[in-house]
Structure formats: C-alpha cells, structure tokens
Structure 1
Amino acid sequence: MCVALDDEFAELQQILDEGRLYPVFQPILDFRVRAILGYEALIRGPEGSSLARPDQLFAAAARYQMSLQLEHACREASLRAFAGQRLAGRLFLNVTPGCLLDTRLMNGHTRELLNELGIAANRIVLELTENEQITDMPGILEALLHYRGRGFQIAIDDLGEGFANLRLWSELRPEFVKIDKHFINGIADDRIKFHFVRAMQDLAEIGNASLVAEGIEREEDFVCIRDMGIACGQGYFIAYPEAYPVRLLPRRTVSALDQQSLALSPMTGGPGKLPTARTLLKMIEPVHMHASNAEVIDRFEADPSLDVLPVVQGTQPVGMINRHSMIDRFARPFRRELFGRKSCELFMDHAPLIVDQHATIQELAMMLSLAPKHYLLDGFIVTGEGQYMGVGSSHDLMGTITEMQISAARYANPLTQLPGNVPINEHVDRMLAAGSPFVAVYVDIDDFKPFNDTFGYRRGDDVIQTLARLLCEQVDERLDFVGHIGGDDFFIIFRSADWEMRCWETISRFAEAVANLLGIDERLRGGYMAENRRGELSFQPAPTLSLGAVRVGPGECESHREVAAAASAAKKQAKKRARTAGTEPAGGSLFIERRRIGAGELAVCRSSLN
C-alpha cells in the first residue's frame, strides 16, 4: 500500500513539475444575446494516467497536502491555453476559498501572468467553489474586494447544493451565480424545480447578478430555461468541454434558440415584427486582428464619424477598438513610434458585447443595463450564425426603445395603462402565427354598473384599477399577457402551466378587495341597498368576477377575432352560471371551455362575427 501511495505521489509531482495538466473549456451561452459569453476552464490529468480524471487528481493532491500547488498549476495552464487559442469572452476559473486566501495568488504573480498573456483582468471570473468549508469569511470578503478592485469578477458555484453558498451570495454579492445541475435536469417536467429556480431568479434580480444554469442536457430543459428568462446556460446540450472548444454555437443549439419565445410588449413596425439587433445594424468595415495600430489610427482620422472599429479573425468578431481610447493612447509622446507597427490586438477590447441578429430590443436593453459602463459607449457587434454583420449603437437602441414606449402609450388604456385592443390583438396573432399553445381568459366584473351608479365613478374607477393591479400580480410577467379591453372588461393570455389556480386566486382576492370598499354592514350582507333601473330601492350584490377561459392549440384558430369570439362565449357561460347557480364560494365564477376549439366551434365563432 505504501509503495502504491509513493507511486501516486511521484506521479502527481511529475505532472506538476512537467506541466502535464490538460485544460478543457466548456462554453457558457448568454441567452439574452444568443452568443457565447465565455468559457469555464476544467482540468484533466494526462491521458492514460491513473490521475487523468479530475476527481482522482484533486483527491490525490488533498492526500499529500498539495491542493494549493495543484490549483495554482491549473490556473496557469488554463490561462495559457485560453490565451494561446485566442478564445473570445470571459474565462471562468474555479478557485477554492483556501486558494483565494493564499498569498501566492495575491502577490502579483497572476497580474504579471495576465499582462504577459495580454488578457485583461475584467475578462476573468473567479468561480468560488464550495469544496471546502469557509472558516474566515471576513478574510474572503477582503480578498474579493482586492480582486474586484483590479477588475476581476466573482461567481459562486452550485447554488442549491448547500446552505453555505446562500450565505456566500448574500455576503459576496457576486456578478454570476451558478445553479446546481440538480435543479436544471428535468426542470421542464418538474414544477418544484421550476419554482425553486424561479425563487433564485427573483433573488438574482434583487442582487443584480446573472444566473448560469449548469447541467443543461435536454432540449426541453434548454427551452424552459430560455423561456424563464435565465441569463446564461451551460451543459452538454450547448457544447461539451473540449481542449479546443467550439467558437460558434452548434446547429442544434441555434435551432432550439430559434424556437422564439414571444415578447409580451406591444410591437413597433407593424404586427408580428419585433425590433431586433438586426434592425439597429450598421455596416462598418472591420479590421483584421493582425492590422497595425497605425492602420487603425488612419481609419479613425479619415472618418471623423467613426466611433468604434470592430476587429475580426476571418469572419468572426474578436474585439472592438474605441476611437477616443485609441487616439488618447497615441497622443502621448513616442507612442506611434513604439506601438504603431504592432498588432491592433494589443489595444482592443477582447470581450466586446457580441449579440446575434435575432436578439430582441428588450434583451439588448437588459444586457446593457447590467454590463460595464464602457459598453454604453462602444455599443455592440451584431452577428449572424457567428459571422460578423455590423455594429449597433446604444444611442440607436435608446431611440428605438423610446419609440416602442410611445407606441405602447398610444394604445394603452388611459385608466390602467394596460395594453388596449390593438396590442391585445397583435399579441394573440403572434401567438397563433408561432403555433404556441395558450389559454385566453376574458375577465368581466359582474354587477359593476349599479355599484358605479350608486357610489360614483371615482369609486368605480377604484374597482377597475384594483382589478388591473390584481391581474398583473397574478400573472407571470415573463410568460403571460394582460390587456384592458375597456370599461370593466380585461383579457389575459396565459402560458403559465398553473393558469387555472391563478384565475381562482384572482377571483378570491378581488372579492376581498371589494369587501374592503364597503361598510361593515354592507360587507356582512354581501351587498348594499340602491335604486334599480325602475327607481325602486332594492338589494344589490357586491361586484364579483366572471372569467371565461378557452384553451387554444396550434392551428385551432386563424386570427384574434376567432379567439376573442370563443373567449367571449366562455365569459357569457360564466356569467350565466353565476346567475343561475348563485355566486360560487370563492366570490366569482370561472367557466372553462372543455371542448377543443376545432372546426365545429370555429364555425360558430365565425358565424357570430358575421
């Protein structure tokens, strides 16, 4: 046994001495811009070695108190391989708390290595793993403050694996948080996992962090994560870790991304045409990464309107050069003589914002709001299937967003500010064109007119605004759409799986809200005394809700008119049920059209429209 251990120690020492560590890189996809954000560096031992697998390698290092030595060797091997391949974007480096506090990491060696390799510190993300217990939290916080001050970003790994990393999140405020693969595998079919991740997403928004879903292996989970609005993803479905990783997204990943999720905001540019990065594209002739700095300066001097120059390797964008930064550098004495003939790669931004042409305006705006400030000045590079197409500016993006907001305001209901009939119809037509199943729910307030006549339009407006607020609270803003048809009529397009529960919760909460608008005696009686249409004093019930719901599958309706007619018919059934059977215990009525909206029902819908 001792001999075996001695052999293992010797092999480990040889691997470290001879630099035989074997880094592989796994791409991390940014869903928001449909592009590779960067790569996580993973380490392997030499092929054919008993320490080839990372678990064996790190276990051996732990047995001989060589873990820190191994980590430092892993970091250097990963950085050299990353720089040697000129990989774009960020590099995620795994770091244990012990290594983070080690003086060898803070003594300037890493900074010297980055300078030697030409890698900017803001491209490095230190990914803190939970392989060992943190015993010195103040020391960790101080160390991370040190690294952040030098441009590094922070990530915590395997969120959900233990309680310790929840504390890390609250204490460290990382830029990236990785969700443990347990919660990602099967999330499309598991409501519990879905809601766990949704809760993590809410925390991420509050903490201004980007979530990375790890372990995506199935297309169903990939699409679910994308539609939830999770920022980034990583896993075998996107790409396997390789020594020479993919630089362009694989075809199956692009195909899954092309199953476009439907935006919920009103359109500009006509029905069904959502502005994307392509609409902001301006063609600027790029420079090759081997072009000299003098050539770049000449381009800027020849065209005063040129603010940035994209840099490409072949047809793939690899960097961006800012006009003011470049000219400022060369305004200093002897800079042109010293650096004029050197490659422009020396001064370019190696991690520009690169987005796919299909990235939506909303996704771009969200990305820029979370990105470093220099992206607002530099703008972004637009690609098609990974190939350079042009650049877009933040100025044009803001102008487009302003136009969209003006358009949304033009068609919004003035009382509730919710989308009115035009955006409602456009959204239904988009859903139908995409062949996406949904549930249309027509919402109407019963006995609203007597209440409005008795208590005045101001109290009536309070009821309508209360309902609008409740509807917005009950839907999932990333999946569902709420519109205000007019008066006391509302329309919801649900894609949430638990839509029926949300409907009943709305009915219940509306009943409670209306009761609070009445006096104690009126609340106990469930209504109030008022004049009816004949001028006679009679009892009037408190306003309640009637909801008519219709499931719409792919190909079952041709236009928003048919959906509106079917939902209106369901709403009438809900009101009839409330009148004939009395108000249901929850304080309202929900009628669900159980029949398939097929040819027979469509004929009825169409005849009702003629």
Structure 2
Amino acid sequence: MLRIGDISEKGPVVSLTTKSSEVNTLFENYPHLEGIVVAVENKPVGLVMKAQFYRKISSKYGFDLFMGRPIELVMDTTPLIVDYYDEITKVSSHAMNRSQEKLYDYVVVTRQHELCGIVSIKNLLIKLAEIQVNKAMYTNPLSGLPGNVLIEKKMLDYLSNSNQPFSLLYIDLDHFKEYNDIYGFNKGDLLLKEISSILSKVILNMELSNTFVGHIGGDDFVVILPHHGFHQICQLIITEFNIRLKHYYHETDWKNKFIYAKDRNGQHNKIPLVSLSIAVVTNQHTQYLTIDEISKIAANVKKECKKHVGSCYICHDAIKPNCCEKETIITH
C-alpha cells in the first residue's frame, strides 16, 4: 500500500500575519512555485495558490485592499488536508471530487496533525499512473484479479507471521476444457469472468479487509482468508456458482445435466456440467514454511475433490496426512 506521505515534499510556509506583499515576493522569486501553506505552530490553517492569489490581487481594488494586509484575508481556509498514512488512491478520489476552482490545488499532508508537506496534483497523477501500470503488470488481463506475483507475495506475508491464521482455497473448474470445446472460448472466458465476479462478491464484499482473491491462470483461482472459518465461505461460493451457471448452458444441456463432447481420451461421451473443486489448506494444526509445501498439499486435495460428482470442497487435515475432512455439495 502506497501512502500519500511517501510522495509528499517540503514547501514554503508562512504565518497568518505574513503580509500579502511578502507572499507576492515569494511567487516572483520562485516562478515554479504553485502554492504556499499557511500554518500556526506547524499546524496548517490555510493555503495560498498562486493562480487564486493573483486573481484576488488583480481584481478591482484588490491590490490596495490586500497587498499590505495579512495573508489570512486571501488564503483558502478549507484546503484538502490528509494524513501521511492515507492511501494514495483514497486521497486522489477526494482531490478529484473537489470543486473546479480547487481541482488543481495542493494536497496538504500532516502527520500527528502537524504539517509534513504538500503534494501537487501533477505528482499525484503521475504516481497514480505508475500504480495503474504496475497493477496491470501483475494482474490477470482476463479477470482483473491479482496474478501469480501478487499471490506469492500475499502468501509470503502470511507465512512470515506464524501467529496469523489463514485458510487457503485453491479453486479449479472441472470439465472446463470440454465446455470450451462445445461452447467456444469466448463463452469460456465469460464463465471465468463470472467466477472472478462470484469470488469478489463473496470474499471481498462480505469478508474481512485482509482477505485476498487471485487468479493463478486459466481456470485456477485462489482465495486466502485470515481465519479458519472457511466452511460457510465455500458453501456460499458454490451456491452462488450454481445460481449463475445456468445462464451459460443451452436449456436442453442444463436439463440433461451433461453435454456430448470429446473427453480427454478423444472419445465422445456424456460430460458432466462444469463444477467447482475447492481444495482447502489451513494452518490450524500445522505451521508451513514454504509456499511449495502448501501447493503440493493443495494439489493432492484437489485430486480428491475431482473424484466427486458436482461441486465440492475438501479440507486437508495436516495432523492426519492420509485423511481429509470432506464436505461435498452436489450442485447439479
């Protein structure tokens, strides 16, 4: 998370009693200066932007009225003031929602209520563009969900904190290849987008802030929960999937609960409708040291899931390596 304070910079500061003529001198001596913060005991109370300053000074009687008097008569008393630790995206949203006349004003940054610096809109937009480029580099272009680099980073964050409980849900679509063969890749892509929508709805909109949803690639997704209460979440995912899946089949196929397609051996067979296999790995009983450990266990549990007809989830019990805690939900 990038904080607004990370891109703040120092700028000139004046007091309430500073005369407008002195501010004028600062603007004349530093042509690239866009604004000046007004502070009392290092606490920001106002902002003077060059364009607005000269607009007031150049108005009828403005020069005579303001130039020899304190800057507090000219300054904006309600600038956008944010905390050092506020997220850049959050601050940019506030900045862009200001009135037109304030749209390009500095953002004033404080830490513990004291002046820390300013951020120009130009620098804010540049940094936002960088964030968007980086996000595009590390997200799956189809689903828009974080890809493998960010998935690995999130897992390492959990593994580095042995006190943080987690449940990893490795989600795979069964019979997706055959679906693509019959309905086409465009429809298949739409189904994958539907899965990402379901996960975002169930996980990101209903769960804790530290949850994570990622797209490994193809028809493989991952969810990380900051607790061991995965049962209800898995059930919600499967229920929501079943509701939406109907719209991706012709009426006849949906009623039959199968399609005719070539299986992986090249033989035409009745192929079940697409279903979900959710392999669950938690650190409730075992602390894992590497991502590779978790990946191998998840892969084995996924094989168990695929033995079941319809969607199901299975949780691996690390205390008994040869035993799995099973919860099967038939959705077709």
**TM-score of the superposition, structure 2-length normalised?**
0.82
Q: Shift of the alpha carbon at 1:396?
A: 1.3
Identify which of 119, 122, 125 aligns with 1:395.
Answer: 122
- C-alpha distance in 2 between matches for 1:433 and 1:374: 48
Q: Which amino acid letter does the alignment assign opposite residue 443 of structure 1?
A: I
Identify which of 363, 379, 386 aligns with 2:90.
Answer: 363
Q: Which amino acid letter does the alignment assign opposite residue 514 of structure 1?
A: L
Aligned 8 A contact 2:27 2:33 in 1: yes
1:64-87 deviation per Cα after TM superposition (whole angstroms, max 9, x unaligned): xxxxxxxxxxxxxxxxxxxxxxxx
1:533-585 deviation per Cα after TM superposition (whole angstroms, max 9, x unaligned): 444333221111011223458x94556x25xx426524532541451xx33xx
Unaligned runs of 5+ in 2: 322-332
Identify which of 576, 579, 592 aligns with 2:315.
Answer: 592
Is the counterpart of residue 294 in structure 1 residue 25 in structure 2?
Answer: no
Identify which of 124, 140, 155 aligns with 1:428.
Answer: 155
- C-alpha distance in 2 between matches for 1:537 and 1:498: 41
- C-alpha distance in 2 between matches for 1:304 and 1:362: 30
- Aligned partner of 1:383 in structure 2 is 110
- C-alpha distance in 2 between matches for 1:517 and 1:334: 71
**Counterparts of 1:406-555 in structure 2 under 5 Å?**
406-431=133-158, 437-477=165-205, 479=209, 480-495=211-226, 500-552=231-283
1:149-200 deviation per Cα after TM superposition (whole angstroms, max 9, x unaligned): xxxxxxxxxxxxxxxxxxxxxxxxxxxxxxxxxxxxxxxxxxxxxxxxxxxx
- C-alpha distance in 2 between matches for 1:444 and 1:536: 23
Aligned 8 A contact 1:574 1:589 in 2: no
Change (3 A) 1:301 1:398: same
1:282-338 deviation per Cα after TM superposition (whole angstroms, max 9, x unaligned): 211211222111111111121121111001112221111111111222224554444
Change (3 A) 1:457 1:328: closer
- C-alpha distance in 2 between matches for 1:496 and 1:399: 37
1:210-231 deviation per Cα after TM superposition (whole angstroms, max 9, x unaligned): xxxxxxxxxxxxxxxxxxxxxx
Percent identity (aligned): 26
- Aligned partner of 1:317 in structure 2 is 44
Aligned 8 A contact 1:437 1:552 in 2: yes
Match of 2:103, SS state, is helix
Match of 2:75, SS state, is coil
Unaligned runs of 5+ in 1: 1-273, 602-610
Match of 1:310, SS state, is strand
Aligned 8 A contact 1:570 1:591 in 2: no
Q: Which amino acid letter does the alignment assign opposite residue 179 of structure 2?
A: F
Change (3 A) 1:339 1:277: same
- Aligned partner of 1:12 in structure 2 is none
**Counterparts of 1:191-340 in structure 2 under 5 Å?**
274-332=1-59, 334-340=61-67
Q: Which amino acid letter does the alignment assign opposite residue 441 of structure 1?
A: L
Q: Which amino acid letter does the alignment assign opposite residue 127 of structure 2?
A: T
- C-alpha distance in 2 between matches for 1:331 and 1:573: 75
- C-alpha distance in 2 between matches for 1:336 and 1:528: 82
Match of 2:79, SS state, is coil
Q: More deviation in 420-429 or 311-320?
A: 420-429
CA RMSD of aligned residues (A): 3.0
Change (3 A) 1:594 1:362: farther
Match of 1:377, SS state, is coil
More helix by share: 1
- C-alpha distance in 1 between matches for 2:9 and 2:201: 40
Aligned 8 A contact 1:438 1:494 in 2: yes
- C-alpha distance in 1 between matches for 2:60 and 2:182: 82
Q: Which amino acid letter does the alignment assign opposite residue 460 of structure 1?
A: G
Match of 1:491, SS state, is strand
Match of 1:378, SS state, is coil
